[in-house]
Every structure is written in structure tokens, then in C-alpha cells.
Structure 1
Amino acid sequence: MLILEGLYSLSIFEEASVAISLLAFMVLIVNLSKRIVIMEIISAIACLQVLLTPVLIYQIAPSYMPIQSDDYFSYVLPATISLLAGLAYFSLISGKNHGHYFSDLKVYLNDKPDIGLWMVGLGIVTLFLEPFVPQVFKNILFLFKSLLYTGCLYIYFSKAKYKFVVLVFVIIYLFFQTVQAGMFGELVYWLMLFVIFMLAGNERKVYLPTKILFISLGLFLAILVQSIKLEYRLYAWRSVSVGGGGNASFMLTLISDRINNIDKLFQESFFLSALVRFNEGFYIGHTLAYVPSYAPFANGEILNDFVAPVIPRFIWTDKPLANGLANIKRFTSLTLFEGNNFDISPIGEAYGNFGYWGTLFLLLYGVLIGGVFYYILKKSENKPTLLLWLPKIFVSSLLMESNVFTAWGGTFQSFIFVALIFKVAEIFKYKI
């Protein structure tokens, strides 16, 4: 009720933020099933985390935000619009419909039903090797582990026997990983990307109500995960500390409780706690409050993140780490600890480096990410299966609760990994 009452007193910045967010979701819904909507997903999630959620927080619990609404949105609104414009540039010239890419893909895989099975098998072998591999090689192993998921896409679009048995097995594995580690991201992201490809490759027309249903289910799943994540994660980590592990029964109990008491998810106190966890604006706001009043601008040091992925750590000894600690310590007054999974986002980093000129950086950053997507899309006209590697390449760029080093580094390293996979296959005259 307080949310509805607050909507009547929005500032001009907040009204514009709601409008931009609704537009991003409308573009996503319209293009869903027609296109591979990875850029649209990034845009919609960005709006949800840095625009729409902060608007709601300012209406019902403004004390959760470190600065005033106008001070926050006067930077974040144009910055987000710039990012969205950059992401959309190449999408606008890639055609309205991506269906023909999937037609070519299915023809290509018609007589190659076993490729995906081999990839899934290699991914499984990697899982068994993981406990025995030194830490220095973990990142390389992680790249090979992703063959498990990319292989599923190969299987889905081929005529492989027992395809649905394999797909169910991988989903069960994802659930098991979530149970053990208490980390829900991998399960949610890959299921979301798989649904995107399933709809885009569907030859039947998908009507608007079905699209809205999928989007609604996705948002509900996100709210459900947020509602149990903290409680289950504390349980799982405490269990691991005493020699135990995750507990599927406890997780299912939590899920069952939320579903059987669905009204809990939308009670104001419960809904607020979910909003707070979605709210990337909290960290961006702390950045705006801290820089340059208490710490100087970084003056473009963020540009190092674009070359960092190609330089080994033994050469660049103080190479940035793929967590939020460095940015949180440098650009905010917050105190966080090892194991922290939060960050100030590329939008916050852009301000910490360039101030309000960060909007221009975000435009170029969006063009770069969108350009990689468009390049792979065009290359898939000659190598149709390149299409199926897009989720692996962009999975690290989906959320805002990260940084440029993690997002771009993951995209770049995955791009190189995919290029090497195809090159090795070409050398051995094996078509993948």
C-alpha cells in the first residue's frame, strides 16, 4: 500500500527512471522469441537493479539509501540510458528476427547428434577433476566445466537420442551444486539463458501472453531465490564449517514454505528485504557520496581492466581480483569482508573514475559488449554453432552487482576460449 501511495509523489527523475525501466522490459518482451535477447536481458536487469528498485526504496524506506533521490538519479539515470544506448546500437542493425540463424543451426546439426553428448561428457570429467586441480588452474578448469551447459544447447537443437534425459541430468546437477554451495546464481542464469534460446529457436509463434508468463515466472523465481538465499546460505556455510554440506531437504522445505505461504513474498517487510538485496543503487549511492568528497577520482584506471585479462598474474602481481573488495574499499566508506559478492557495478565504477563523464564511458562500454555480440552473430552465418556459445561468453555480463574487470574479463576470456576450441577442432578436421 505504501508503494502505491508513494507512486503519486515521484520526482521527475524517478518518473523518468520508471518510464525507462518499463521501456526496457517492453523491448525485452516484444523481442523475446524473435531474437537472442541477451543484450535486452542485460538492459532490463540494469534498469531493475539501479533504477526501478531504488525508486521503490526511496518511496517506502529512503533511509536505506545513502544520498537524496535527486542526487542519486541525476547521475544514474543518464548513465543507465547511455549504457542501454550502447548495448542497443549493434542490436538495432542485427535485424529484427534471428530465426534464420536457428534454421541454419538445425540443418548443420542434423547429422551431428553426438557433439553435444561429447561436450557434456567432457564437462562431467572436469567436475571430477576439480578437487584435485591446483588453484592456479581453477579458472581454466571453469572454462571447460561450462562445456556441460553449452553441450546441452547442442543436444537440444540436434536430433540426439535421449536428449531430454541428458538435459534433466544437467538441471539436477545444477540444483545439487546450489544445494552444496548455497550459491544460486549459476542455476538461475543458465536456466534463464536456456529458456531464451529455447524460445528464439522455436519455429512456432510465441504469443504475448506466453512471453509475459515467462517473464513473470522469471521474476517470481528471482524473488523466491532472494527470499530463501540468505537463510539457506547461512545454514549451508555453517554446515560446511563443521564438516557437513548442503541439505536438499532443508532447501526444499524453505521453497515449500514460500510457495504454500505465497502471501509472505509480498508482505511489506518481506518485500522490502528482497528489494534491499536487489538494490545495487545502495553501493552506487555510497560511491556518489564518497567520491570526490573523501577520495579522489581514479582518473581512468578502470581502462586497465580491458587489458588485464591478457596479462598473467605472475607478470602483473597486483592485477585486480574478481571480487568487490577493491572497489568497495576505494570508492565507498563501507566495510566488507573476504567472501563478499557485492560491488559498485560498472555504473558506480564509471563515476569513481570519471565523475559525470562516466556516462560517456558507459556508452562506449555498452557499444563494446554489444559489438562482441554482433560480431559473433555475424560469424555464425558461416559457423552456425557459434550461436550456442553466446551464453557462455556473456553470462558474466548479465548482472550489475559486479565490476568491469569481472564482466569484461569473463567475456574476453570466454571469447578466446571459444576461438581456441574451434581452432583445435579445425586442426583435427572435426566440425563442431
Structure 2
Amino acid sequence: MHRDEADLGHLPYLVRKYRVLERRGLSPTAAILLAVAGIAGYLQVCPNEFLVMLVFGTTMVEFVRRMDQGIPLLQITALLAVLQWLVGPSITYFTNVAHGRYFMYVVESYYFQFALPATAAYCIALLMLGSSPRQKLLTQAMDRQHFVRIGFILAAIGVACFYAAGKAPGGLQFALFLASQLRYVGALYFLFSYHRYRYLFAIACCSQLFITSSESGMFHDLIIWLMMIFTYWFAQWKWKVDQKLLCITFAFLFVFVIQAIKQDYREKRMAGMEVTITGEVARLMSNSEPVLEGEILPLATARLNQGWIISAVLANVPFKEPYANGETVIEAIKSSALPRFLAPDKKMAGGQENFRRFTGLPIENGTSMGISPLGEAFANFGIHGGILFMGLFGAFFALFYNFVLLHVVKHPDFLFWVPLIFYQGIKAETELVVVLNQLVKGAVICFGGYWVLRHFVIPYHRPFLGTQAAVLGRPAESDATV
């Protein structure tokens, strides 16, 4: 048995913490590159497309490095931010590819003078202060005896909450919606059990996700949960760099295809037409129109480009709408801390109010469209204050993630609950009120649910997988044949 895969069950807590958590998610070289790109972007002394590619390449390298170490949640968060706040706008600026009103509302230099340093500050704080779990070490300390039972329990709770959420009042509806995601936590328990049908059980847990996405034409949750579950499965083995890059390429193609077909698919569903996802994919593949000349690339770029909303904020604030000076930040903190029955007038999710106010653009009440943390940072504090705020926001997100991982060190299988706390927060287009609401209520559900599960339903017993010799890197007699 390799030293890094030794049993951690009998090590002191501080030693386990040191062994299973990598304290920094960003190399010093990468931090310097991001800082240089941010400063150069603020000063506008280099071509913006070069700086965008530098930031994208740096975050991608950090993501690739940790793909097979454990769930790279902070790296995914940084990468999504770079893609939607920098890469998408860069494509729109330098190719003039736009769809409808999804164009950039300010000149390139003004946008990137804010977006580059603010995104760089966010990524540096997020990755420098955040930790990364070493999944292989954690799985060595897991008692998998009851994983199948836990999987069925969580799946049943998730399905029950899914149907109850549709009939619950607004204040309770979001909590039930979050609890309904427990079926995907159950899928991870199945995936890491030793049951011969573990893959079948895991797929069954996710079946409702496929059905709901195909019926609604909304694929965000499908993409995020599949990505999360895949990272857990992927980190069970070491992979070569070319294999990692191949997986990333397939993931990008998958997302591109979904983005390319989903508008037509959704419109046909709303019109009552018979339509299937596979049929739309086949139609896309058989389309003889070149991607660069047709509507496919503009549609996919529009979905990637969160910058068009941010640029509309930059064009509207403070010229027509004054800076909010922290108003929406304070409101988001209050909304996440207080339940609706104590604060009945708190803001509803969806982003319509902030979108209309800070972009000056119309939006239908039934359309969810947030201005993102980056747009909210500028709307509240302007360029300089917004850059500082994004650094602080990245630090908060990283430290909150570290706090959750400290519980994982004590209870290794709590690693499977982590995505439920953060899966809304990693999206770059969500507003602060949604992010904070997700973190707080997700943490309450996960910590509370895990405590009840492990104290009253299936008590937790720390496994004895080896002797102290195994901790020192030498195989115990019982492990000699492993």
C-alpha cells in the first residue's frame, strides 16, 4: 500500500487534516500570472485577448492538475467565472458574433479594465485561500458497510421532497428543493459502495434529473450535477495529462451541443410539438450550414457570455442609476440569514429586480436572469471598489469551503454532501442573494441531515482498515494481498 493511501482512521485530527487537505489550490507561479494579467488589464497596456487567454490558461492548468486528486470545486468555480466573464465577452468583441440583444454595451477597453482585474482578484483569493481534498486518502477512511442503505434512504427523501416542493409555500419551497437534491448525494454513496449494481443504482438516482431536464428544457442542473458526480468518479484513479484533456474536450463538446439545441428544443416543447433531445442533436449534426456562418455559434456564444449583462450594468451605472453602495450586498446577507416568515418582504429569487434596475433593460417576470457577482460588485462599488469586493468575495467563498472540508476530515463520507452546499454558488451568473442563500440553507440541510443520519439512523463507526504500520506506509498483514 502506498504511503499516501494509508489508513487515516487512528491518526490525530490535526495530522489527518494535514494529510487529506492540500492547503493551497493555486501555485505561486499561477498567482503571479493572474496578478500580472489583472494589473495589465486595469492599465490596458496589453491586448485584451492575450490577457484573457493567459487567465484562462492559468486557471485551466490548475483545474487539470487537481482533476484526479479530488473534487476540484474551487477550480471549477474559477474556471466557470473566467469562461463567462472573460472568454465569452472576448469572443463577442473580437468576432462580432452576437445574437439578438446579447451584445456588448460598452467598448472593449472599458469592460476589460474592470473585468480582468476583478476576475483575477476573485480567482487569486478563491484558489490561494482555499483547500483541495485528497479523495483517495479520504476513501481509505470510509466505512462503506452501509453505503447502499444510506443511498436508498437519501434517494427516498430526495424524491419525497421533490414532489412536496411543488405544493409548499414559497418560504419552505426552496428548502424542500434543496433537500430534493439529496438523491444525487445518494447516487455518490451508491457509486462508492462495493455493491455489484452500484452503477445501476447511481443512474437510477439521477433518472429524475434527466426526465425533468428533458421536460422543462432547462439543463443547468443536469450539467452541474453530472459534472460533480463525474469528478468524484474520475478522482478514483490517476490519469495522464492527455487523458484529462480528452475528457475536458468531450465535456466542452457536450455543453456546446446542449447550448446549441436548447433554445429550439424549449420553443418546440412550449409549442406542444413532439421533440426529443436525441432528435435535436441528430438534426444539429446533419445541418449542412457551417457553424461559423449560421446561428449555432451566436447562440452558443450568447449562452456562454455573461459579459453582455455585466456590460449593460457598466453602461447604465452610474450614468442613469447611481451606485448602490452595498445595498444589495447587505440585502443578500439579511435574506440568507432570515427565513421568509421573519422577513416577508425580502427579495424573491430570479434576478428580475436587479436586472431591470442596474442594466436598464426590460425583462419578463417569468425569466430568470441575474447580473452575477461581478455585475453586482460594479453596481455597488464601481471599478476600484468592485475589484476589492471581488477579492473579498473570493476569500469568503474559499474560507467557507475550508470550513466544510474540516468536517470532511472528521467524517470522510461527508465529502459526498459537499456539492449540495455549493452547487448553485459555483455558477458565475447567479446573484449574491442566490449564492448566500444556497450556502446557508444548503449547509443547514447537509450538516443537520448528516448529523441525524449518523446519530439516529445509521450510527457512524470509524473503520479499522489497517494497523499503525499501514499509517507509516507499510502494509499490514490483512492488507498484504491488496
TM-score, normalised via structure 2 length: 0.80
Specify which of 102, 107, 117 is matched with residue 139 of structure 2.
Answer: 102
Specify which of 114, 136, 144 is matched with residue 75 of structure 1.
Answer: 114
Aligned to 2:249: 216
Specify which of 28, 36, 53 is matched with residue 71 of structure 2.
Answer: 36
Aligned to 1:273: 299
Query: CA 1:349 to 1:121, structure 2 compared with 1: closer, same or farther past 3 Å?
Result: same
Mapped to 2, the partners of 1:398 and 1:264 lie a distance apart of 33
Mapped to 1, the partners of 2:249 and 2:194 lie a distance apart of 31
Within a 5 Å distance, the mapping from 1:251-290 to structure 2 comes to 251-261=277-287, 264-265=290-291, 267=293, 269-290=295-316
Mapped to 1, the partners of 2:165 and 2:346 lie a distance apart of 24
The alpha carbon displacement at 1:171 in A equals 3.5
Query: CA 1:330 to 1:177, structure 2 compared with 1: closer, same or farther past 3 Å?
Result: same
Aligned to 1:6: none
Q: Secondary structure at the match of 2:154?
A: helix
Aligned to 1:401: 429
Q: Secondary structure at the match of 1:119?
A: helix
The alpha carbon displacement at 1:429 in A equals 6.2
Mapped to 2, the partners of 1:299 and 1:74 lie a distance apart of 20
The one-letter code matched in structure 2 to 1:341 is: S
The alpha carbon displacement at 1:263 in A equals 7.3
The alpha carbon displacement at 1:291 in A equals 0.6
Aligned to 2:201: 166
Mapped to 2, the partners of 1:383 and 1:347 lie a distance apart of 35
The one-letter code matched in structure 2 to 1:319 is: K
Query: CA 1:238 to 1:99, structure 2 compared with 1: closer, same or farther past 3 Å?
Result: same
The one-letter code matched in structure 1 to 2:378 is: Y
The alpha carbon displacement at 1:431 in A equals 2.8
The one-letter code matched in structure 2 to 1:88 is: L
Aligned to 1:237: 270
Q: Is the 8 A contact 2:70 2:132 kept in 1?
A: no
The one-letter code matched in structure 2 to 1:258 is: L
Mapped to 1, the partners of 2:263 and 2:146 lie a distance apart of 46
Q: Secondary structure at the match of 1:114?
A: helix
Aligned to 1:141: 176
Q: Is the 8 A contact 1:265 1:271 kept in 2?
A: yes
Q: Secondary structure at the match of 2:410?
A: coil
What per-residue deviation string (whole Å, max 9, x for no partner) do you get for residues 163-188 of structure 1?
22222223332221112111111111
Q: Is the 8 A contact 2:125 2:395 kept in 1?
A: yes
The alpha carbon displacement at 1:307 in A equals 3.0
Tell me whether 1:26 sits opposite 2:65 in the alignment: no
Query: CA 1:169 to 1:313, structure 2 compared with 1: closer, same or farther past 3 Å?
Result: same
Tell me whether 1:315 sits opposite 2:342 in the alignment: yes
The one-letter code matched in structure 2 to 1:251 is: I
The alpha carbon displacement at 1:21 in A equals 1.1
| Unmatched 5+ stretches in structure 2 | 1-44, 461-482
Pick which of 162-171 and 138-147 moved more. 162-171
The alpha carbon displacement at 1:327 in A equals 1.2
The one-letter code matched in structure 1 to 2:344 is: T
Aligned to 2:438: 410
The one-letter code matched in structure 2 to 1:237 is: M
Aligned to 1:7: none
Q: Is the 8 A contact 1:182 1:237 kept in 2?
A: no
Mapped to 2, the partners of 1:145 and 1:262 lie a distance apart of 42
Tell me whether 1:294 sits opposite 2:329 in the alignment: no
Tell me whether 1:185 sits opposite 2:220 in the alignment: yes
Specify which of 328, 331, 341 is matched with residue 358 of structure 2.
Answer: 331
**Matched residues, percent identical?**
25
Q: Is the 8 A contact 1:308 1:409 kept in 2?
A: yes
Aligned to 2:123: 84
What per-residue deviation string (whole Å, max 9, x for no partner) do you get for residues 363-393 of structure 1?
1111111112112222211111111111111
Q: Secondary structure at the match of 1:428?
A: helix
The one-letter code matched in structure 2 to 1:322 is: A
Within a 5 Å distance, the mapping from 1:334-413 to structure 2 comes to 334-356=361-383, 357-413=385-441
Q: Is the 8 A contact 1:258 1:264 kept in 2?
A: no
Q: Is the 8 A contact 2:171 2:341 kept in 1?
A: no
The alpha carbon displacement at 1:407 in A equals 1.3
Aligned to 1:17: 52
Mapped to 1, the partners of 2:442 and 2:166 lie a distance apart of 22
Mapped to 1, the partners of 2:379 and 2:445 lie a distance apart of 31
Q: Is the 8 A contact 2:97 2:301 kept in 1?
A: no
What per-residue deviation string (whole Å, max 9, x for no partner) do you get for residues 100-154 of structure 1?
123223xx22454311122112222333444444444321221221111000001
The alpha carbon displacement at 1:25 in A equals 1.3
Query: CA 1:358 to 1:306, structure 2 compared with 1: closer, same or farther past 3 Å?
Result: same
Mapped to 1, the partners of 2:409 and 2:84 lie a distance apart of 34
Larger radius of gyration: 2
Q: Is the 8 A contact 1:227 1:265 kept in 2?
A: no
The alpha carbon displacement at 1:272 in A equals 2.2
Aligned to 1:242: none
| Unmatched 5+ stretches in structure 1 | 1-9, 240-245
Q: Is the 8 A contact 1:224 1:265 kept in 2?
A: no
Pick which of 419-428 and 263-272 moved more. 263-272
Tell me whether 1:422 sits opposite 2:455 in the alignment: no
Q: Is the 8 A contact 2:210 2:222 kept in 1?
A: yes
The one-letter code matched in structure 2 to 1:406 is: V
Query: CA 1:38 to 1:263, structure 2 compared with 1: closer, same or farther past 3 Å?
Result: farther
Specify which of 84, 93, 96 is matched with residue 49 of structure 1.
Answer: 84
Q: Secondary structure at the match of 2:194?
A: coil
What per-residue deviation string (whole Å, max 9, x for no partner) do you get for residues 201-232 of structure 1?
x1x32111221121111111111111111111
Q: Secondary structure at the match of 2:427?
A: coil
Within a 5 Å distance, the mapping from 1:52-63 to structure 2 comes to 52-61=87-96
Q: Is the 8 A contact 1:117 1:151 kept in 2?
A: yes
The alpha carbon displacement at 1:252 in A equals 2.1
Within a 5 Å distance, the mapping from 1:111-126 to structure 2 comes to 111-126=146-161
Tell me whether 1:127 sits opposite 2:162 in the alignment: yes
Mapped to 2, the partners of 1:111 and 1:130 lie a distance apart of 28
Q: Is the 8 A contact 1:66 1:285 kept in 2?
A: yes
